[in-house]
């Protein structure tokens, strides 16, 4: 790893874990407004802090959002993502009730599925080659 200053430590480990999370609105409806996007960023930032994580970057479009997150190795990703979705959905529906009711009859906001991809570090080819070249001698 090139930049050791970016590594964090926890008990008996050193780590740098980043994830790219994509959340889509239910039925990919174009419901997200610029104001809503700003409020979503605030909600996600607060939830991340509660989970001892960091929201590094955030943006989105009318029907989906992208989050770049930094997390710790003890984090159970599925629980964290479900909490992010639940809290943000509840708060956004409350803040923008009349707008969201134009798109949904039921109290929904996010699609139940999501995409999360690990990021950072060297490309897989480089890591694979490095491991292959290890020698005991």
Q: How far is CA 81 from CA 5, 35, 47, 128, 135, in A?
A: 27, 22, 10, 29, 40
DSSP state of 105: S
Q: Is residue 8 a contact partner of residue 54, using CB atoms and an 8 Å limit?
A: no
Q: Give catalytic residue positions.
A: 130
Opening angle at CA 75, ends 71 and 77, nearest 5:
90
């Amino acid at each position: 790893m090139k930049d050791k200053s970016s590594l964090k430590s926890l008990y008996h480990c050193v780590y740098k874990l980043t994830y790219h999370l994509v959340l889509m609105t239910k039925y990919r409806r174009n419901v997200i407004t610029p104001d809503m996007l700003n409020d979503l960023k605030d909600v996600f930032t607060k939830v991340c802090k509660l989970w001892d994580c960091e929201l590094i970057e955030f943006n989105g479009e009318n029907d989906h959002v992208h989050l770049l997150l930094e997390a710790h190795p003890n984090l159970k990703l599925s629980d964290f993502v479900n909490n992010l979705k639940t809290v943000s959905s509840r708060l956004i529906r409350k803040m923008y009730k009349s707008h969201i009711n134009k798109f949904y009859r039921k109290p929904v906001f996010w699609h139940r599925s999501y995409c999360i991809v690990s990021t950072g570090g060297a490309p897989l080819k480089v890591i694979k080659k490095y491991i292959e070249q290890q020698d005991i001698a």
